[in-house]
Amino acid sequence: MGIVAGVTHDTFPKQSERVGTDVEVCFRYDTSHRLPGTVVRDDMEEPHLQVFRIQQGEVRRYILSTECQYRYVERGI
């Protein structure tokens, strides 16, 4: 656990415009197993975290950008 100056019970780091953007995620550089995801947090201030929500069948997971490889994808028209 830790303490970050900008995070309290009613304050949160400023978020980038990437929140809500679609991503493709893979692990250990294995691009044969890509998972769809969405950016749910992208801090512009300390602690500078980026969090993705990914779906694996019925299971929804939340992972840090530092735990995977990813790319932003455009939504289909």
Domain of residue 54: give its range: 22-73
Beta strand residue intervals within 1-77, DSSP E: 22-26, 35-42, 50-56, 59-64, 69-73
Which residue has 């749910």 as its token pair?
Answer: 40
Query: Is the CB of residue 43 less than 8 Å from the CB of residue 5?
Result: no
Identity of the amino acid at 45: E
Tell me if 12 is assigned to some domain. no
Tell me if 54 is assigned to some domain. yes
Tell me if 5 is assigned to some domain. no
* Total domains, the chain: 1
Tell me if 15 is assigned to some domain. no
Give yes or no for residue 77 having a pLDDT over 90.
no
Tell me if 9 is assigned to some domain. no
Looking at residues 18-42, what average pLDDT do you find?
97
Looking at residues 4-14, what average pLDDT do you find?
90
Tell me if 7 is assigned to some domain. no
pTM exceeds 0.85 for this model: yes
